[in-house]
């Protein structure tokens, strides 16, 4: 470990976000009764340690910068799971949010009939914890607000993102606990597409590490607008690079969903 992971308070090993992303993802981590691990990435903080006889894994998680109401919902006291003393390990992996995400364009977006527009956004990531080879839990690295996209009787529950849909990737504020999403919007309708909110179905998107890039990328999203009262046709393309996590749901045919909040 580098100097950012420093042993303090007896056997407590504090791991910074930079070290966690660089050294602790997608690799087996072995613990013993003398090793108490403390991780911080984004708002997420987690402590893990073994019981004295190394038969149980003890853990708790906390979040910084959130209200007491959210702390009661997202944080946990010490809890435990069974541990395999001979060869037991933990593994962390990055994941996309478990629900669709809803964003606003940096200004009300107008797309003329027949026009194709490229746009970009960043999506905060979660981390999945596996213990002894079995998936145990998933934790958001940034606490997201829930929202509803669509009509009251016909819509989808998702997360509202603070980031915006931008015309240039250079305008994105990027970090290694977020993923870049490239979006292509085609207007196949006879009228102008003028929208104020956009819904991305992250459950159909994979997560990738592009060649030579430290910032993860999602599947490329292609949206075809067919008219105000019609569903959008959606397809997702592999951007290339190493797969960090596959889509939660497999796309077996063309997808059609409401994707735009029309002005």
Every domain of the chain and the residues it spans: 6-88, 97-124+143-262
Q: Return the structure tokens found at 236.
A: 């997702």
Alpha-carbon distance of 20 to 39, in angstroms, equals 7
C-alpha count within 13 angstroms, C-beta hemisphere, residue 238 = 11
**In 3D, which of 163, 90, 89 has the Cα closest to residue 125?**
163
Q: Return the structure tokens found at 137.
A: 């839990």
Query: Residue 4: its pLDDT value, please?
Result: 44
pTM assigned to the model: 0.89
Query: Residue 1: its pLDDT value, please?
Result: 42
| 119-162 tens-digit pLDDT | 999 999 999 999 999 999 999 999 999 999 998 888 999 999 98
Q: Are 61 and 44 in contact (CB under 8 A)?
A: yes
Alpha-carbon distance of 154 to 223, in angstroms, equals 20
Alpha-carbon distance of 7 to 14, in angstroms, equals 7
Alpha-carbon distance of 169 to 64, in angstroms, equals 28
Q: Return the structure tokens found at 50.
A: 């073994």
Query: Residue 11: its pLDDT value, please?
Result: 66
The rounded average pLDDT for each run of 10 residues, N- to C-terminus, in the chain (263 residues) is 42 90 94 90 95 93 89 87 91 96 87 95 96 94 94 91 88 91 96 94 94 90 92 92 92 85 89
Alpha helix positions (H), the chain: 17-23, 68-74
Query: Residue 2: its pLDDT value, please?
Result: 46
**In 3D, which of 164, 171, 125, 141 has the Cα closest to residue 65?**
141
């Amino acid at each position: 470990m580098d100097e950012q992971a420093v042993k303090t308070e007896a056997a407590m090993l504090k791991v910074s976000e930079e070290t966690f992303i660089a050294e602790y993802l997608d690799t087996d981590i072995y613990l013993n009764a003398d090793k108490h691990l403390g991780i911080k990435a984004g708002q997420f903080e987690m402590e893990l340690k073994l019981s004295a006889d190394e038969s149980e894994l003890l853990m708790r998680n906390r979040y910084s910068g959130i209200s007491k109401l959210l702390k009661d919902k997202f944080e946990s006291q010490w809890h435990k799971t069974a541990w395999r003393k001979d060869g037991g390990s933990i593994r962390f992996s990055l994941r996309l949010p478990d629900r669709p995400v809803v964003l606003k364009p940096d200004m009300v977006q107008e797309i003329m009939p027949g026009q194709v527009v490229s746009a970009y956004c960043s999506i905060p990531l979660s981390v999945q914890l596996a213990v002894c080879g079995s998936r145990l839990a998933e934790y958001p690295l940034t606490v997201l607000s829930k929202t509803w996209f669509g009509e009251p009787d016909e819509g989808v529950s998702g997360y509202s993102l603070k980031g915006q849909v931008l015309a240039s990737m250079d305008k994105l504020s990027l970090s290694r606990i977020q993923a870049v999403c490239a979006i292509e919007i085609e207007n196949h309708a006879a009228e102008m597409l003028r929208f104020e909110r956009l819904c991305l179905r992250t459950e159909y998107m994979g997560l990738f590490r592009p060649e030579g890039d430290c910032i993860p990328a999602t599947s490329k999203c292609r949206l075809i607008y067919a008219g105000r009262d019609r569903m959008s046709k959606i397809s997702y393309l592999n951007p290339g690079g190493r797969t960090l996590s596959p889509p939660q749901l497999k796309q077996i045919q063309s997808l059609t969903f409401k994707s735009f909040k029309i002005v």
